[in-house]
Amino acid sequence: MSEKAHDQAVLLEARGLEKTFRQAGETLTILKDLDMTIHKGEIVALVGPSGAGKSTLLQMVGLLDRPTAGSIMIDGIDASRLGDHDRTMLRRGAIGFVYQFHHLQPEFSAIENVMLPQMIAGRPAKEARDIATRLLEALKLGHRLDHRPARLSGGEQQRVAIARALANKPGLLLADEPTGNLDPETSEEVFKLLIELARGTGIGALVATHNMALAARMDRIFVLEGGKVRERTA
């Protein structure tokens, strides 16, 4: 465990997580008795072979799906005990998501895409615009505020998606292969900006990636194999 983790409070704690599916009359186990802890302010890489369940785990801890068994604590709140409405409210306020594909709304500009989740959460339009502008400028997109996604490059679109994920000031950022759809040079640029912004805001992050060079630059590395997580040591 990193020295940073020792000094910070627990942000995300998963205990005994299990996820099974029924397929062709058989039970398929994706996650089994999985334990994991992430502390405030640390950035953790999640690596593992394709099909190991990285996306499934992110869906579980991101409260987008329920585990078959086990508990998930988000900043001291036991999400396992919450109903659907309260889970939605917790997810909306505490968690930001970045996916491999940006999933921007094509009919809206870059700044409008970043304003939308804030306004859905009840933030006034002017305040939402100010926050969106600051985030996009920090991601070097100040000159692209009024451009729709179709007029942005792949790297620019992903940077808008990062700004959108951070707009509601979540404590936890979950990223699923956030640079996996980009060329190496653009991937490096986007990753650098993502990490700088995450560290600048002090949030915790869990980043699934196949890129071990990027993983090595994070605070810790979790390896997902056989349905369980183990911490990789040097």
* Domain residue ranges in the chain: 39-66+81-231
- Tokens 């394709």 locate to 50
- Tokens 């919450």 locate to 82
Q: Is the pLDDT of residue 100 over 80?
A: no
139-184 pLDDT, tens digit per residue, is 889 999 999 999 998 889 988 998 999 898 899 999 988 877 777 8
**Dist. CA 60–CA 71, nearest whole Å:** 10
- Going by the DSSP 8-state scheme, the letter that residue 73 receives in this structure is E
Mean confidence (pLDDT) of the chain = 88
Residue 47's closest CA among 208, 177, 181? 208
Q: At what angle do helices 125-138 and 110-120 cross, to 10 degrees?
A: 130
pLDDT value, residue 7 = 56
pLDDT value, residue 6 = 47
Q: What burial letters (b/e) apply to 12-29, b meaning 16+ CB within 10 Å? A: bbbeebbbeeeeeeeeee
Q: Superfamily for 39-66+81-231? A: P-loop containing nucleotide triphosphate hydrolases (3.40.50.300)
Q: 205 forms bridges with which residues in the sheet?
A: 43, 173
3-state SS, residue 213:
helix
Q: 50 forms bridges with which residues in the sheet?
A: none
The pTM for the full model equals: 0.86
74-87 pLDDT, tens digit per residue, is 988 999 889 999 99
39-77 pLDDT, tens digit per residue, is 988 999 999 888 888 999 999 999 989 999 999 999 889
pLDDT value, residue 133 = 96
198-207 pLDDT, tens digit per residue, is 888 788 999 9
